[in-house]
Amino acid sequence: MNFSVVTTQFWSLVLQGLALGLIYSLVALGYTMVYGVLRLINFANSEIFMLGTFAVLWVEIELLGHPVAAKPLGGFELVYTLVIALVGSMIACAVLAVIVELVAYRRLRARGASRLASLISAIGVSIFLMETMRMFTESRPRTAPRLLEKWSFGEIAGANFRIDTMLAIVAPIIIFVILDQFVNRSRLGKAIRAVSLSEENAKLMGININRVISLTFLIGGLTTGAAAFLYTTVYENTVFNVGFNMGIAAFTAAVLGGIGNIRGAFYGGLALGMMEQFASAVLGSQWKAVTVFVVLVLILLFKPNGLFGEAVQQTRT
């Protein structure tokens, strides 16, 4: 046990926990959105994230021609490069998510297959994507060029306000606000909530169920793509199985907050990020996973639907 690190590095750990947790939250959205309408876990979401990280690399290195050893960019070129990488990753992930829905869910649903069948087909798609990438990359890790110089706004109480950390905090918050407004205010958002409440009744009201389901996959893909961009920008590397750990963390975050619940994904991710940072700092990194899952089990014992309850409660608000 090492409590001195908490006294000296408290705000630094909080800041890093926020950044890590919000990246988890974005991927957790990919799970939670789909669960909200289908009551199914989209196990392929972790591999959508993985392909997103490679999409960022592809955009930066191949499309815009910045080799791995490139010097950091500045000014307009930096902004433009990062925006293209972000948009590229979001589009790639969204398209992929919609394709996954078509291949692994829609046909099975149309033929009245059991829910378990879709679960297995999603796992199948996930393994297919991961193994394909393994062959393409020969299992080798890839590095992203450091286009964003990691300069700091300054240090307050030991917390280093570094540009990449700030980006990983601010961007997800903006995305969450937009998504929350979209789901609660727009017509399509209303349709998503309707399907989430009752698929049968929504159908009777003339809502095109398939379109709504595709839309939720699309939104989940967009946020997962944003997470892939932030991950690659902050950690500057990826590998074919990067989705595995991220998937487990994001899924845990979604369950912690209450799966199917958008705000739950947000706070679940944050809670997970904080717990990981502090457990690793105080108890040692070998205790990180143990701490996280002990806390998860304890919370589920007392609040079986997670911190913020399941989708149905949320969509009523």
Partner 1 sequence: MNKKIVSGLAIAAATTLALGVVVASPASAAKKTSVTLAFQGPLTGPDAQLGQDQFPGAEWAIALYNAKKPAVKINLIKADSQCDGTVAANIAPGVAANKAVIGVIGTSCSGEARNSFPAYKAAGLTMVAPSASAVSLSDPKAPDRGFPIFHRVVAHDGFQAPALVRYATKGVSSPKIYLVDDQTTYGAGLIKYALAPAKKIGVVGTDSVPRGTADWSSVASKVKASSANVVIYGGYTVEAAKFFKALRDGGYTGILAAGDGVNTSDFPDLAGKAAEGVRLTAADVPFDSLLTAAELASFQKITGVKVPGLYSATAYNAAQVFITCIEMGKLTRPAIQSCVNNTTFTGAGGSKIKFNRYGDIIGGADVGGYLVKNGKIIYDAIA
Task: State yes or no: residue 276 binds partner 1 (CB under 8 A).
Answer: yes
Task: State yes or no: residue 74 binds partner 1 (CB under 8 A).
Answer: no
Nearer to partner 1, 232 or 315 (CB): 232
Instruction: Specify the stretch interacting with partner 1 by CB under 8 A; choose among 1-9, 41-49, 90-98, 104-112.
Output: 1-9
Which has the closest alpha carbon to 273: 13, 32, 53?
13
Helix (H) or strand (E) holding 113: none
Distances 95 to 63, 187, 216 between C-alpha atoms, Å = 19, 22, 12
Contact 31, 253 (CB under 8 A): no
First to last CA, the chain: 43
CB of 138 to partner 1, least distance (A): 6
Burial of 122 (0-12, 13-18, 19+ CB in 10 A): buried
Task: State yes or no: residue 87 binds partner 1 (CB under 8 A).
Answer: no
C-alpha–C-alpha distance, residues 314 and 263, integer Å: 8
Task: State yes or no: residue 139 binds partner 1 (CB under 8 A).
Answer: yes
Task: State yes or no: residue 295 binds partner 1 (CB under 8 A).
Answer: no
> What is residue 143's three-state secondary structure?
strand
Task: State yes or no: residue 69 binds partner 1 (CB under 8 A).
Answer: yes
Residue choice 210, 244, 295, 300 for contact with partner 1 (CB under 8 A):
244
**What is the contact surface with partner 1 in residues (CB under 8 A)?**
2, 4-5, 8-9, 12-13, 16, 19-20, 68-69, 138-141, 143, 146, 150, 160, 162, 231, 235-237, 239, 241-242, 244-246, 276-278, 280-281, 284-286, 289
